[in-house]
Amino acid sequence: MILPIPVPPGSPEDAVRFVDMSSCAKFFDHLEVLFPQPLPPQGYAVPGFAPAPAAPTLVVHDVGDFEASFVPCVRDFARLDSRFQLPSTVWDALPAYADWGFCVFKLKRQAAPRTVHPMAFDFPRRDPRALFFPTLHVHDGSVHPTAWFDHLLYCQTGVPTTDVPEGWERSVGGAESLPPHARPFVQPSAWFYRRMIAGHQPNRDTYVA
């Protein structure tokens, strides 16, 4: 999985910190309990999404069930294994991502079926006023104007307020309602919010101002 992220241009190779969540494989199950109200049916979409605006080998990080690397910009993909290359036509169709960074995740071989923990990382945002969700889809080597979404987005705003962001729903409890092993991955004094994107949608990333 390759996730474009809007880091400040020229970010160094150690700008991203990968977070091992193997101690909390059911993290999203725990969050779901805080939203007892039923979800809308498939095909429903909340409106208001905004469009996103010969070197040494890159470091591969061991992150629980995954191997992960941070690629500072498009041209640095040549420093990764060839399996992670995308056709140049993909980047030609996405000029806005020319100076973005990219997180690359590879699932390790599993000896037996089991629950895989979430992928997680933090990074410096070029726009600190907005939360970013990497929802752009490229599945077949090409970029399509629309894509099939089946996503639940969760966030904390970092602001201790009871105001609900437009288009989101608020949890019935805060971090204190989560099991102890899930709390290190959240802000302790902020509400949780959830938003659903489902059905065919514009193929783009999602921001929350």
Q: Is the pLDDT of residue 49 over 50?
A: no
Which pLDDT value is given to residue 50?
Answer: 46
Q: What is the pLDDT of residues 194-207, one digit of tens each?
A: 999 999 999 999 99
Considering Cα of 156, then 161, then 167, then 173, what sign does the dihedral take?
A: positive
Q: Are 120 and 30 in contact (CB under 8 A)?
A: no
Which pLDDT value is given to residue 43?
Answer: 52
Paired with 150 in beta bridges are 198
Which pLDDT value is given to residue 40?
Answer: 62
CA angle 141, 28, 132 (to 5 degrees): 55
Considering Cα of 184, then 187, then 189, then 190, what sign does the dihedral take?
A: negative
> Mean pLDDT in the chain?
84
Residue type, 149: F
Which pLDDT value is given to residue 149?
Answer: 92
Phi–psi pair at 60, nearest 5 degrees:
-105, 125
Which pLDDT value is given to residue 182?
Answer: 95
Q: What is the pLDDT of residues 143-189, one digit of tens each?
A: 889 999 999 999 987 665 667 778 899 998 888 899 999 999 999 87
Q: What is the pLDDT of residues 73-125, one digit of tens each?
A: 888 888 887 777 777 788 888 888 989 999 999 888 876 777 789 999 999 99
Which pLDDT value is given to residue 78?
Answer: 83
Q: For the chain, which residues make up each domain, given as ranges?
A: 2-208
